[in-house]
Chains A and B, each alone.
Chain A
């Protein structure tokens, strides 16, 4: 029913676009109806600025309508795919496409997002990168930087063979082309772009992210998607957006663009890794999904990938869905969570496609994916078990079915199509309503004004000044109100930050003192043990098994025991000192990461409190201020309308758009800069040589003294953590988070509200201004001959005939589209 409904509404939109375009063209054809911009009236007191319709406005309006028609015809829909590299995002995309268009490699591959577009009939994939110039300019810059800093270049070269290759590429002076055909070309370009980003980081050269922060600036892979072969064109143009997600490290430059794209996307697929559902990295992704869910409401789908790696004792599929559902935001219902195996789907699809197109089995040497399929389906001795092409085709089909990919793919594409269509319809209907009301007002003013005297018209124009003043006053009033709202929100944030810092410091105090106590205790224990025992103890700590560690208490787990590699060579006896010292950086990092973990409840509380404050403010704007603004403006306009109604004019005025609110979350805490790296002089005991030394040590052991040792001073590297630095760092980190919230408030609340109000009042003032200008033009109409006026009136009557029904039908279309959009948001 929905599809049928959708097609009917689309046809209706096309009909209305055509009718409005006809009306606009008819306006052009009515003699004397269009005024010129900036035309002078013979009335010396008035200058005509911009009327409702001039040649330029008509041309622009016709272009807009034509654009709306194209949007509806083309039905561009974007499905954003979000996930970490380990989750199998690339494989998921390859499975949807039915071809290996994105490489699977261990490193991150999405430094800049890539689009993958379905082009019917395009069997060989091609990457189109028209915006290659900024990258080529960057390569030249990198080449210069490399020649200036050969040492840094060498260090980078040694980091990885990939970087070494890209260095060669940059040094060769070869340019990145705007088009590469076939899989090797695509892989080459994507790899080069990603490695260049990494090289930039190594050489401290800024990557021109701002040149890649618009969707049309990104590389596009064009290829026929297997899933869409044979589908009707009416299904629309499907494009996948390969994105790492808005919060992934290194993507801050692109965050705004990605968020914007996720907001606009017809559907968003978040790829989770089944085998890592409880891991820290997946927790980050889950947080990110919560973010995404807030601005892709009703359009988010979760693919729980690698379900084929489920063990025999693992829960069944429906239980997995329930478990995942609890981990994900409430706004993501269970019927949008799909356990899948992207790998099976991809392999099953690609093998079938190959056999179908080539009529034979793929060559395992040339197509490694065939080996993967064969190993997966027939086992390690697949070469012996491999049947003929016909049977392999059937097996590949079975493999595909086992992937559980078919249903979600169909549902997501179908939903994306409907979402895209209804959003496009909503946008088109808004334009249609706006234009039809404008045409209607224009025709109404000009035809009614013809029956009035010039003096009457002048008096109406005079009264409009008051309306403009009223609107200005409203603008100022609500600008002040929103300022107050934002200030209040910022104050709340500051208070919450202070509260959190206090709570976090308390946690840090506790953990730090636990750490110090433990370290001192360790030292005391070390001191109390014989050298042999000390060594054993250290070894025991080093070699404790996982199960033994698991039995440790919470604090045991978050405060690792200092690793003394050579305890008998070093004595740290200052019990009162408040710093924690680690001889190994990884220990310090582990300690910090445990503190970070322990601080998570505080940051979560903060996050929740700030999220609530944020949402409260957005709600106050959306539900109170916005309604108040609309109501006040409506009252002013009603007065204007009624005044004009009494004089025989029947006018419309439309209200402006809405503000989007989003929920925000912190990215993970990072307090590693609390670790100071320094050298310190330590007293070490060196065994005295010879039998005398041995004897002394034996006696010393009996009396617990350092007899038989020489004291030497030695400089060693230590990794120090002081409570002060930890607290300072905690505060900085939380304040930094506060700053990020503050930035988000600026971008997500303050600016949209300001823009919305600005647009609202500009439109309002524009409408009043247009009425004024139309009346001024009407004064010129009065200067025309009787026959000219008659011709004008006749033309206006013709125009007036269809405008009411077009306006009504456009409003009805908008209402239908909006209710479908809201239905999808539920």
Chain B
């Protein structure tokens, strides 16, 4: 596990590129933020950028060019990914939101990048056009069915490579992120109600079952916190790329709203230690993870 490549990381966490695309767009809003990301997450983000864009490493000091390239690259990625319904539905909407946000802050960027204003307007138009086109296609799609298909696909992939390489907690986190980023997440976010609750309940049960199979425990049998987490924590310590990918993917968390994921991130402060039980069964774990990765993020808790 120590020789995890960027490609592997992207396989383990498919929504990484969505997150990356989104964060690139949002980074445009603040040069400071871009600088922070470039310095703090330099290694992994740069490598992922290079992997996604296929381009060679950029010069450090060429921020203007880079930003423009990023925009172009992001647009290229979006163009490429837009063909996938599950992706564009959520990501495109969110990216467009970000882009609209950018319009208000364009002066800041314009000072740094010559001609960015025009390019942004162009990008905005392109994205609107693409989104409108995609929306037409999306309207015809049965989101509910897509959500169901996605759950089946993701859960069935639980014990299939590359997911099966991951220890139980990282794997569970990965599939939940994938679901959140896909049609399942879109559906339960946009259509709150009984049906959506039934979807979540079904997912809880299925997650509980795969947990029980994975840990070879019977229903309602509680196992220690260590048994749940230790292997995942150890692997994250050993593999830099996997850790970076996971940390990047889960950087939305805070200890109060997502103590279980925070614990996995190694943020074992007093609050986290108090909220994560020392012993729990598969039911309890599936409920906690689902709440953190999906329910809290859709604004329910």
Contacts and interface: CB of A to CB of B under 8 A. Distances in A.
A15 to B, nearest CB: 6
A218 to B, nearest CB: 37
B222 A801 contact: no
Interface string A794-826: 000000011001001100110010000000000
A812 B278 contact: no
Given A8-B279, A9-B279, A812-B284, A801 B274 contact: no
Interface string B273-284: 111011111001
A15 B222 CA distance: 16
Contact of B277 (A4, A18, A22, A809): A809
Given A8-B224, A801-B301, A812-B222, A15 B281 contact: no
A18 B279 contact: no
Contacts of A813: 279
Interface size classification for chain A: 10 to 19
A12 interface: yes
Nearest to A813: B279
Nearest to B276: A15
A23 B214 CA distance: 35
Interface in B222-280: 222, 224-225, 273-275, 277-280
Interface residues of B, number: 14
A312 to B, nearest CB: 53
Contacts of B222: 812, 816
Contact of B274 (A4, A8, A9, A15): A15
B284 A808 contact: yes
A11 interface: yes
Contacts, number: 35
Contacts of A801: 301
A4 B288 CA distance: 24
Contacts of B273: 15
Contacts of A18: 274
Nearest to B227: A8
A23 to B, nearest CB: 11
B301 A809 contact: no
A816 B275 CA distance: 19
A19 interface: yes
B274 A12 contact: no
B274 A11 contact: no
Interface in B127-168: none
Given A12-B279, A801-B301, A812-B222, A19 B274 contact: yes
Interface in A1-16: 4, 8-9, 11-12, 15
Interface string B160-192: 000000000000000000000000000000000
A15 B275 CA distance: 8
Contacts of A816: 222, 279
Contacts of A809: 277, 280, 284
B158 to A, nearest CB: 25
A447 to B, nearest CB: 15
B284 A12 contact: no
A729 B173 CA distance: 81
A9 B225 CA distance: 11
Interface string A40-66: 000000000000000000000000000
A8 B278 contact: yes
B284 A11 contact: no
Contacts of B284: 805, 808-809, 812
Nearest to A7: B278
Contacts of B301: 801
B281 A812 contact: yes
A22 B301 CA distance: 19
B267 to A, nearest CB: 17
A455 B280 CA distance: 44
A362 B280 CA distance: 56
A801 B225 CA distance: 22
A16 to B, nearest CB: 8
A435 to B, nearest CB: 16
B24 to A, nearest CB: 34
Nearest to B281: A812
A4 B281 CA distance: 17
A808 B277 CA distance: 11
Contacts of B281: 812
A166 B215 CA distance: 70
A4 B280 CA distance: 15
A642 to B, nearest CB: 19
Interface in B28-86: none
Contact of B278 (A12, A22, A802, A808): A12
Contacts of B275: 19, 802
Contacts of B278: 8-9, 11-12, 15
B146 to A, nearest CB: 31
A86 to B, nearest CB: 48
A8 B222 CA distance: 11
Contacts of A12: 277-279
Nearest to A808: B284
A12 B275 CA distance: 10
Nearest to B224: A8
Contacts of A11: 278
Of A11, A801, A802, most buried by chain B (CB within 10 Å of CB) is A11
Contacts of A808: 284
A18 to B, nearest CB: 6
Contacts of B279: 8-9, 12, 812-813, 816
A4 B278 CA distance: 12
A805 B281 CA distance: 13
Nearest to B273: A15
Contacts of A19: 274-275
Nearest to A802: B275
B181 to A, nearest CB: 25
Nearest to A812: B222
A681 to B, nearest CB: 86
A801 B274 CA distance: 14
B281 to A, nearest CB: 7
B253 to A, nearest CB: 16
A15 B225 CA distance: 13
A794 to B, nearest CB: 14
Contacts of B280: 809, 812
A816 B279 CA distance: 10
Nearest to A22: B274
Nearest to B270: A18
A12 B222 CA distance: 12
Of B222, B225, B284, most buried by chain A (CB within 10 Å of CB) is B222
Nearest to A16: B277
A22 B256 CA distance: 14
Of B222, B278, B280, most buried by chain A (CB within 10 Å of CB) is B278
A328 B224 CA distance: 40
Nearest to B277: A809
7 contacts: A4-B224, A9-B278, A15-B278, A19-B275, A22-B274, A809-B277, A816-B279
Given A12-B279, A805-B288, 6 more contacts: A12-B277, A15-B274, A19-B274, A812-B222, A812-B280, A813-B279
Interface of B: 222, 224-225, 273-275, 277-281, 284, 288, 301
Closest 6 CB pairs of A and B: A12-B278, A11-B278, A8-B279, A8-B224, A8-B278, A12-B279
